[in-house]
Structure 1
């Protein structure tokens, strides 16, 4: 999946991939959360990680708008430690219900769409606008942490559903 170069491409990509993932999850039913999925995770665990990244990319953008430089990816983690971060996200989400994660996924998506709409083209597509974003435009950060995450999640969910049927 190429990185969107325009607001329209980003918007279309996020909407399309979210709708496909959401449709897959709707069709899977409430028991899908307990299905084995990937890396010893259940579908619920996978969702917890995807929700975390969606919420946090927006938090980073909002911090940048306030003139802050957020710790990315998270306090106590370096980028090369994202597998450890993801594992810790799964551990922290153990008590959260699948239904709650589905609601957070929906709210996160809505928040992403509002953020894309509010950002001007310089903020969304320009490089160097926020220190934390380094040499990449926010559109890249948004795409990687939403559309790409939704696409891979859908792939894993579909695989889990096929294996359930076998």
Structure 2
């Protein structure tokens, strides 16, 4: 499906890509789930990828919470610019190194549900109108939600599949 242009498409694609990712992960053997990815990838295993997705969910939820009060959220995170995203992703990776896959999976599922609630709360106009909210700048709320959900899940699915080979 191309990039969502309606609320229904956003809900469908975010859910479909989420389910596709989880189905793929659940089809893996315990050994495959814990096998290290080839050298050259920041995220070294399935846990790392899901922790990355979860943390970006949390950041999106924080941007939303702060932004909807009329304040400007720290984006992507306090002390980081968008050009520093690789550094931020390394910090995210470090943060979850002591968590096990099952805990990260639970956190990921909860943060996914929280983002779905945000999507369902808004009208199509509120989601897709550019410049509707000051904190989203020249783009729309949906643009941020697509990046944090369906597009990110597609990236994760392709990464895990590539690294499983």
Partner of 2:28: 28
Gaps of 5+ in 1: none
Partner of 2:41: 39
The TM-score with structure 1 as length reference comes to 0.89
SS of match in other structure, 1:96: coil
Partner of 2:84: 81
- Report the Cα distance in structure 2 between the residues aligned to 1:68 and 1:145, rounded to whole angstroms: 20
Gaps of 5+ in 2: none
Contact kept in structure 1, 2:55 and 2:92, CA below 8 Å: yes
Whether 1:92 and 2:95 are equivalent positions in the alignment is yes
Contact kept in structure 2, 1:3 and 1:140, CA below 8 Å: no
- Report the Cα distance in structure 2 between the residues aligned to 1:50 and 1:33, rounded to whole angstroms: 16
Q: How far 1:156 sits from its partner (Å)? A: 1.5
Count of matched residue pairs? 162
Q: Which moved more, 1:137-146 or 1:125-134?
A: 125-134
Partner of 2:112: 109
Partner of 1:119: 122
Whether 1:158 and 2:139 are equivalent positions in the alignment is no
Contact kept in structure 2, 1:25 and 1:32, CA below 8 Å: no
For residues 113-142 of structure 1, what are the alpha-carbon distances to aligned partners after superposition, in whole Å with 9 as ceiling and x for unaligned? 111110123321112222221111111111
The correspondence for 1:69, drawn from 57, 68, 72, is 72
- Report the Cα distance in structure 1 between the residues aligned to 2:104 and 2:114, rounded to whole angstroms: 15
- Report the Cα distance in structure 2 between the residues aligned to 1:62 and 1:78, rounded to whole angstroms: 19
Moved >3 Å (runs of 4+)? 29-33
The TM-score with structure 2 as length reference comes to 0.89
